Amino acid sequence: MDNKSVENCVCIMRNLSYHVHKEVPGAEKFQDPSALQAPGSAGPQRKKKDDAGCFGGKKAKGRKNCDNDKSYDTLDLPKRTEPSKGFELLYQPEVVRLYLSLLTESQNYNTLEAAAGALQNLSAGQWTWSNYIRATVRKEKGLPILVELLRSDSDKVVRAVAIALRNLSIDRRNKDLIGSYAMRDLVSNLPSGQQRPAKNLEEDTVVAILNTIH
């Protein structure tokens, strides 16, 4: 898991996914029309207790696990008539599990940074596939995995995770969850908010954290 071959492969995947929402052939036909809505018009909010189960907290009484609750997400993943191939494999929702597995099991800072960076890239932009990626990260319980990595001692890991959370928060439900459960870890990385010996984070990392909080 932590060998150089895995690290190199994940770094390549991250680099290939950069600006994928702009550069893949025919990307314009996947642009999300809802991006033209006014801020705050993304639909009704759910109660915090309904979403908590998808962040590792207690679920509302009488509700099913969010993975099985069809009412939790109104976003239906596409039904494919043939297997994905070529560059399409970069942004399929199934790839989320791969990156989350790496973020959970790897101890290699370079691999962790690259996996978080890949999710950061795939959840950027306003197109259909980034919507799927953002929803899939939530449904696969990826948000608490990312939040835990905010406690990493590696500057580059914290920066990549913070930017990934910012992009994931474009999704309204992710935004509510991140605001409720990640704020303490975000603030604790700021120079004035650290409750332990300072990590000496670089300026770019502090800016990334502030952008996520903002």
Looking at the domain assignment, is residue 96 inside a domain? yes
For 145, the domain range is: 1-23+87-213
Looking at the domain assignment, is residue 81 inside a domain? no
pLDDT in tens, 12-33: 999 999 998 877 777 676 776 5
CATH for 145: 1.25.10.10
What's the pTM value of the predicted model, to 2 decimals? Answer: 0.79
Looking at the domain assignment, is residue 56 inside a domain? no
Please count the structural domains in the chain.
1
Over residues 180-196, the mean pLDDT reads 83
Tokens 């993943």 correspond to: 77
Q: Is 50 exposed, middle or buried (0-12, 13-18, 19+ CB in 10 A)?
A: middle
Sign of the alpha-carbon dihedral angle for 131, 133, 138, 144: negative
Q: How far apart are CA 170 and CA 117, in angstroms?
A: 16
Looking at the domain assignment, is residue 57 inside a domain? no
Looking at the domain assignment, is residue 47 inside a domain? no
Looking at the domain assignment, is residue 62 inside a domain? no
Q: How far apart are CA 50 and CA 188, in angstroms?
A: 27
pLDDT at 72 over 60: no
Looking at the domain assignment, is residue 40 inside a domain? no
Looking at the domain assignment, is residue 195 inside a domain? yes
Q: How far apart are CA 87 and CA 147, in angstroms?
A: 29
